[in-house]
Structure 1
Amino acid sequence: MKTVIVGCGEVGLAYAEKALQLSSAPHLELLDPAPASAAVAFADGRGLSLHRETGQWLSGAELVLLATPGGALQPVLDSLLPHLPAGAVIADLSTASADAKRDAASRCAQTSARYVDIAITGSVAVSRAATPLLYAGETIPELLDLFRELGAPVTVLDDSRPGDAMRVKLLRSVLMKGLEALAVECLPAARAYGVLDQLWAALKDVDRTGFTNLLQAMTRTHPRHAARREHEVAQAAEQLEQIGCPSAMTRATEQRFAVTRAAADSSVPADDTTDAAIDWITATRSNAL
């Protein structure tokens, strides 16, 4: 299978390197209009063609992996689509927005190219080609097989269309990056108080519960317990501030609980389920606007 990797930065080269190690390695060519010296050395050292521009050489391409900056998606497609054969698969691993990816899928359909939205959900610098992926759009078995051969855990989003992988990735980031920000606010304070090891031990119940189960339980109980939790978070912020540690994330959490507590004075969710809590939060947010 003739495979073209567009964009020879860290992501593109990680996939190229692993692809060449496969027992059934694809016929691989690279495309980058301004390759860095590392990309040139990589291609030269492995006898790969590193193209600076599109052209007739793309006519036999069966699979194109886009590892370009998100903002470059439209001009990259402008350059690629006139040269790709009908039925070519474009797997877009870029960080383009969900709307941009949706537009890209429509453009590809007009030329009979098959477009799939792929979102990278980890650090390629750490995991290389084995970094987890989200997959949205048409199920293309040969593409899924390739990613699995590369060692990448692929989560195929059910009933999805292009753009959904990036949308889910960014929603996931609300949780994961928010948690990271809370961690870097909390952990230095734990060390300053001399209880970092004890904090790690106290968090083991989260491991036993499971992360998604914990999130659902917190959301389900949030409306009815917001007042008590608001008070507890205020105490936690004061404890940080007593030793001069930042507390911005914790104070923002306190404010979120205060909003819920005020809304819960007038109503509570219809029943004790996560979906009911989400519906209630959505409704009270709308009423507050």
Structure 2
Amino acid sequence: MTRVALIGLGEVGRIFVEDLRALGITDLAAWDTAFGDEASRASLNARALGIRPASSAAEAVAGADLVVSAVTAMNCVPAASSAVSGLATGAWFFDLNSSSPGHKQEAAAEIHAAGGRYVEAALMSPIGPRRLDSPFLLGGPHAARFGEAAAGYGLTATTVGAAVVGVAAATKLCRSVVVKGLEALLSESLLAARHYGVDREVVASLSNILPEADWEAIAGYFISRSLEHGVRRAEEMEEAAETVAEAGVTPWMASATVERQRWAAQFGEVLPQASTPELVDAVRLAAGLLEEGES
């Protein structure tokens, strides 16, 4: 029987558990550093899914054919290190954390030294809409072989990239400079534009220089993503800034995006709102930029 272990039982880990079970893969184990807090998202997910929390990462991965590492960006290397003592020889280690090429290479070295097969994976879209059918870019010396087996784990949209660990991470994080940067830019622009009463004019003008689109809806979506996932996005952008710096480029934009994403994370409780202007005003009110009753 195929056995899969999850290191990290947040949003992504939960989707893996649910979709693997739908495929008939039911021998599942999980470890999360947040299991010590019964009110944490990981603990709530474990109870909802009926998974007994392992006492350690090593216990969770023991005997697993596939280990999925889905932790926060800064914990890529610690997650790998925590698993090595229990990792079976030849086990796949699927690292889909949004970490820098350098950190991916460190994690790979840990796994390979323990006899595992490290595969870096870059998730190239939000996972929610398509779940395990989402596009994953694979990398590393074992990527091609894992790509042949991926569909058996429900991963139907994998693309095998470079055999060198770190290239997939660079692809993901250089893209994040644009995507997460757009979230930060739209947030900052509309917070100020709403103050001056020119937000509709600003949004309408975007189609004069960018492709025609419903930019108000796009802005609302991007801002809401920052509000909901700002902590995680800030960590990812710290890794993106490191990636940019490793290329010899000063990461001014990436570093600024870290701060805006971290700031936005304070105000997630304002979600949802019926429209983008209402969302922006809710953030302004929560941030003390707007008095009750003003607009």
Q: TM-score if structure 1 supplies the norm length? A: 0.58
Matched residue SS, 2:34: coil
Q: 1:172 to 1:196 in 2, by over 3 A?
A: closer
Tell me if 1:33 matches 2:33.
yes
Q: 1:104 to 1:199 in 2, by over 3 A?
A: closer
Q: 1:199 to 1:2 in 2, by over 3 A?
A: same
Once the 2 structures are TM-superposed, how far is the Cα of residue 192 of structure 1 from its aligned partner? 5.1
Distance (Å, rounded) in 2 between the aligned partners of 1:171 and 1:180: 15
Q: Output the amino acid matched with 1:65.
A: V
Q: Output the amino acid matched with 1:25.
A: I
Query: Which residue of 65, 68, 74 maps to 2:68?
Result: 65
Q: 1:42 to 1:198 in 2, by over 3 A?
A: closer
**Residue equivalent to 2:56:** 53
Q: Output the amino acid matched with 1:68.
A: V
**Residue equivalent to 1:284:** none
Tell me if 1:109 matches 2:112.
yes
Contact 2:66 2:92 in 1 (8 A): yes
Once the 2 structures are TM-superposed, how far is the Cα of residue 13 of structure 1 from its aligned partner? 1.3
Once the 2 structures are TM-superposed, how far is the Cα of residue 203 of structure 1 from its aligned partner? 4.9
Q: Output the amino acid matched with 1:5.
A: L
Contact 1:15 1:150 in 2 (8 A): no
Distance (Å, rounded) in 2 between the aligned partners of 1:150 and 1:53: 26
**Residue equivalent to 2:7:** 6
Tell me if 1:164 matches 2:170.
no
Q: Output the amino acid matched with 2:158.
A: V
Q: Deviations over 1:251-277 (max 9, x none)?
A: xxxxxxxxxxxxxxxxxxxxxxxxxxx
**Residue equivalent to 1:124:** 127
Distance (Å, rounded) in 1 between the aligned partners of 2:80 and 2:186: 40
Matched residue SS, 2:14: helix
Q: 1:40 to 1:56 in 2, by over 3 A?
A: closer
Structure with higher Rg: it is 1
Once the 2 structures are TM-superposed, how far is the Cα of residue 70 of structure 1 from its aligned partner? 2.7
Q: Deviations over 1:166-220 (max 9, x none)?
A: 11111112333445556567886997575856864875579xxxxxxxxxxxxxx
Contact 1:8 1:30 in 2 (8 A): yes
Mapping for residues 83-102 of structure 1, pairs under 5 Å: 83-102=86-105
Q: Which has the higher contact order (CA 8 A, sep 6+)?
A: 2
Contact 1:33 1:51 in 2 (8 A): no
Q: 1:142 to 1:30 in 2, by over 3 A?
A: farther
**Residue equivalent to 2:150:** 144
Contact 1:29 1:48 in 2 (8 A): yes
Q: Deviations over 1:60-115 (max 9, x none)?
A: 11100001123223332332111111101100112232111112212222221000
Structure 1: segments with no counterpart, 5+ residues: 207-248, 250-289
Q: 1:39 to 1:176 in 2, by over 3 A?
A: closer
Contact 1:33 1:52 in 2 (8 A): no
Once the 2 structures are TM-superposed, how far is the Cα of residue 133 of structure 1 from its aligned partner? 2.2
Contact 2:120 2:168 in 1 (8 A): yes
Q: 1:66 to 1:201 in 2, by over 3 A?
A: same
Distance (Å, rounded) in 2 between the aligned partners of 1:57 and 1:202: 52
Mapping for residues 1-289 of structure 1, pairs under 5 Å: 1-22=2-23, 24-35=24-35, 37=39, 38-55=41-58, 58-124=61-127, 127-137=130-140, 138=142, 139=144, 140-141=146-147, 143-146=149-152, 149-150=154-155, 153-157=157-161, 159-180=162-183, 194=201, 200=207, 203-204=210-211
Distance (Å, rounded) in 2 between the aligned partners of 1:192 and 1:74: 43
Structure 2: segments with no counterpart, 5+ residues: 214-252, 254-295
Q: Aligned pairs, how many? A: 204
Q: TM-score if structure 2 supplies the norm length? A: 0.57
Identity of aligned residues (%): 30
